[in-house]
Structure formats: C-alpha cells, structure tokens
Amino acid sequence: MTTRLLLAASLVLATVAACSSMQPKSPMSFFVSSTGSGKGADFGGLEGADRFCQSLADAGGATNRRWHAYLSTSGAGGENARDRIGSGPWQNVKGDVIATSVDDLHTANKLTKQTALTEKGTVINGRGDTPNRHDILTGSTPDGRATEQTCSNWTSSGDGAAIVGHHDRTGLDESAPAKSWNASHATKGCGDEALKGTGGAGLLYCFAIN
C-alpha cells in the first residue's frame, strides 16, 4: 500500500511540474507603472523605486526578471537612468518591441500611448483624456543622463521638482520637449497634487535588466 501511495504521489508531482512548465512566460520586459507611490515622487530613493517596479512586475506575472526604475539621481554618487536598465531589447506585455538597445531607446524607440502599456496591459490616459496622466517621472535629460531636478533623489513629496517625460509623445506644441518621452518639463512640486497639476500621477517607466 505504501509503495502504491508513493507512486501515486510521484505521478501527481510530475503532472504538476509538467503543467507548470507549459505555462507561457510573460514576454514583458518594459512597462509603465499602473499607479504611483501614493507619496508623489517619494519612493524612498532609487532602491525603493526599483522595489516598486519589481512588486508590480511580480504581480503582473513577470516573476523571472529583475526590474529597475528608469530614474536618474544627482550629486555625489548620482546615477544615469540609461545606465540602470540593462542592454535590451525590451517588450511590452503584448510582446511589442519598445527598443532594441539603450541607444535605440534614446533615439528611435517605439514608445507611444498605445505601446507604453502598464504591467496589466492597460493604456494610460494621455493629453486630451480626463484625468491626464502622461507625465512620467525620470529626472533625466533626453539622452538619459542625470539632471538636478529629481525631487531630492526621489525622497521628497514636498518642495522641489522633477523632470518628467510624456508617454504619449504629446504636449502643448510640436516642439521636441513636448514630444519627449523622458525629458519634457519640470514638475511644479514633488507631492501628489503638484504632480497632478501638470498632468501626472507619479508614474514610472520600469525596465527588466536581465
């Protein structure tokens, strides 16, 4: 009887393992966070922002990857967003290729309102929608390097400012900054209400680094 039970248990475990291996893995290696921190631009620094991206990615089914936020920091020990996100290529949750490399991301990427999807596969409100949420926190220049406007390196929800980009590549005019995905303008503050005032919600770009 014991031998039969052991054999039956082994068969059950083998079946479960086989079914698990057949489950499709998420193609997602890029997304825009579906929500903010709840504290404006305060994520507790870069490590906190990375954990935030990781938690959303895990909830979205991309558990086999390590995630970083596309954020730059200033001052001593500052980091460039472009140096924190791996080497690509990156795809959204539907498998659409966003960029093939770091250089491609900063020159001819495929980011639009329709491709800059959340970890849930949803489209984020842009200019013309209510409410507008197209401001994405970056603290970066167009080529992905650090600026001085990072809301105290992502630890402030009060005074200060941060550079944001427009995920929908749309702004008040046809200028390059208005259409920039990562370096459009500075916010009027670091708290939730200040971010909302220019069309934001404290959202992040999240990239898989492996």
| This prediction's pTM | 0.88
CB 200 within 8 A of CB 134: yes
| CATH number for the domain whose boundaries are 27-208 | 3.10.100.10
pLDDT tens-place string over residues 112-167: 999 999 999 999 999 999 999 999 999 999 999 999 999 999 999 999 999 999 99
- Gap between the Cα atoms of 45 and 39, Å rounded: 12
The residue ranges of every structural domain in the chain are: 27-208
pLDDT at residue 11, rounded to an integer: 45
pLDDT tens string for the chain (210 positions)? 454 544 444 443 444 344 444 445 789 999 999 999 999 999 999 999 999 999 999 999 988 999 999 999 999 989 999 999 999 999 999 999 999 999 999 999 999 999 999 999 999 999 999 999 999 999 999 999 999 999 999 999 999 999 999 999 999 999 999 999 999 999 999 999 999 999 999 999 999 999
